[in-house]
């Protein structure tokens, strides 16, 4: 199943061959000894945007972070071109790793993938969802989901981060870094589709997600605004909503302590005891 492996002191990166011939590169934090853990799904900013979050979760659980095929130079088969394709692939990944009682945590389009996974989880491997500034449902006018391809890197950074110190400066990046960012945005456009970053029919299906859901929103998010996230939470039958002050589209980067506290409270109060590793 494993086609290549790179080991580090506390993490491991390997490429797994899944059913259908899809190869997915994953970073693992900790050891899969309990056959449970957390699956972390990145958004359009790539896997580096959730690395710190995953490392924090790894203090309490085994954590897996896949790189969506096509991001960071990984290959993407032509047949893998929708969020639904990724959702199916990551359920296959949970099968391959033999994980149960899994928290699936997704940021931005990663949250959309997480929701689609929960809708397809016929093996009941998922215990709960944590959606961080997630997209997926159709926005209600005048609310809109901002498209980085339209805005450009500078304006996107301004809308994505409340604190200017976290905003990447395109002028300070080298040609190789800029090329990776551009390629990632092209891959995001493939998966996010048209209309951008949502499925008009998804909201009508979310009542079938029976596991507990935590929706975390940055109060200053200019990409997926606060009212959009409230509407997303209201679409699930068992959802808790938590707004994080002084945070934008990456609350787990700008306010990690607040995010981890919200997840810990969610696990303690909403998730069935024993079905999810301690995430406090």
Structural domains in the chain, sorted by start: 37-51+67-92+100-269 (3.40.50.1820)
pLDDT, tens digit, 9 for 90 and up, residues 36-76: 999 999 999 999 999 999 999 999 999 999 999 999 999 99
Which pLDDT belongs to residue 2? 42
Yes or no: say if 55 and 29 are a contact pair by the CB < 8 Å rule. yes
Yes or no: say if 132 and 243 are a contact pair by the CB < 8 Å rule. no
- Does pLDDT of 261 surpass 70? yes
Yes or no: say if 31 and 96 are a contact pair by the CB < 8 Å rule. no
Q: State mean pLDDT over 94-116.
A: 98
- What's 136's DSSP letter? B
Yes or no: say if 104 and 212 are a contact pair by the CB < 8 Å rule. no
In angstroms, the CA 263 to CA 64 distance is 17
Cβ neighbours of residue 94 closer than 8 Å, sequence gap 6 or more: 39, 102, 123, 125, 126
Which pLDDT belongs to residue 273? 58
Which pLDDT belongs to residue 272? 65
- Does pLDDT of 4 surpass 60? no
pLDDT band at 104 (very low <50, low <70, confident <90, very high): very high
In angstroms, the CA 104 to CA 61 distance is 12
Yes or no: say if 4 and 59 are a contact pair by the CB < 8 Å rule. no
pLDDT, tens digit, 9 for 90 and up, residues 132-171: 999 999 999 999 999 998 998 889 999 999 999 999 888 8
Cis peptide bond prior to 195, omega within 30° of 0: yes
Percent of the chain surpassing pLDDT 90: 87
Average pLDDT, the chain: 93
What global pTM score does this model have?
A: 0.93
**CB atoms closer than 10 angstroms to residue 192:** 24
Which pLDDT belongs to residue 279? 45
* Residue 10, phi-psi category: left (phi > 0), alpha (psi -120 to 50), beta (remainder): alpha
Cβ neighbours of residue 216 closer than 8 Å, sequence gap 6 or more: 130, 131, 132, 133, 229, 242, 243, 244, 251, 252, 259, 262, 263
pLDDT, tens digit, 9 for 90 and up, residues 191-231: 999 999 999 999 999 999 999 999 999 999 999 999 999 99
Which pLDDT belongs to residue 173? 84
């Amino acid at each position: 199943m494993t086609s290549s492996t790179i080991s580090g002191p506390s993490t491991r990166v390997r490429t797994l061959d899944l059913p259908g011939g899809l190869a997915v590169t994953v970073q693992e934090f900790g050891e899969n000894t309990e056959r449970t853990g957390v699956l972390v799904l990145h958004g359009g900013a790539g896997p580096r945007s959730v690395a710190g979050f995953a490392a924090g979760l790894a203090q309490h659980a085994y954590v897996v972070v896949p790189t969506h095929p096509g991001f960071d130079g990984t290959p993407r088969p032509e047949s893998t071109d929708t969020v639904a394709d990724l959702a199916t692939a990551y359920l296959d990944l949970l099968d391959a790793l033999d994980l149960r009682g899994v928290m699936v945590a997704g940021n931005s389009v990663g949250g959309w993938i997480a929701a689609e996974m929960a809708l397809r989880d016929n093996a009941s491997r998922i215990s709960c969802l944590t959606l961080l500034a997630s997209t997926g449902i159709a926005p209600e006018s005048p609310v809109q989901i901002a498209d980085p391809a339209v805005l450009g890197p500078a304006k996107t950074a301004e809308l994505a981060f409340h604190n200017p110190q976290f905003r990447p400066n395109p002028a300070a990046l080298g040609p190789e870094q800029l090329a990776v960012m551009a390629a990632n945005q092209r891959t995001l456009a493939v998966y996010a589709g048209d209309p951008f970053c949502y499925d008009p029919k998804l909201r009508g299906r979310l009542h079938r997600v029976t596991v507990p859901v935590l929706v975390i929103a940055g109060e200053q998010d200019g990409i997926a605004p606060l009212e959009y996230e409230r509407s997303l939470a209201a679409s699930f039958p068992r959802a808790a909503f938590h707004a994080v002050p002084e945070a934008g589209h990456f609350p787990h980067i700008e306010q990690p302590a607040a995010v981890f506290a919200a997840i810990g409270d969610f696990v303690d109060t909403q998730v069935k005891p024993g079905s999810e590793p301690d995430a406090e």
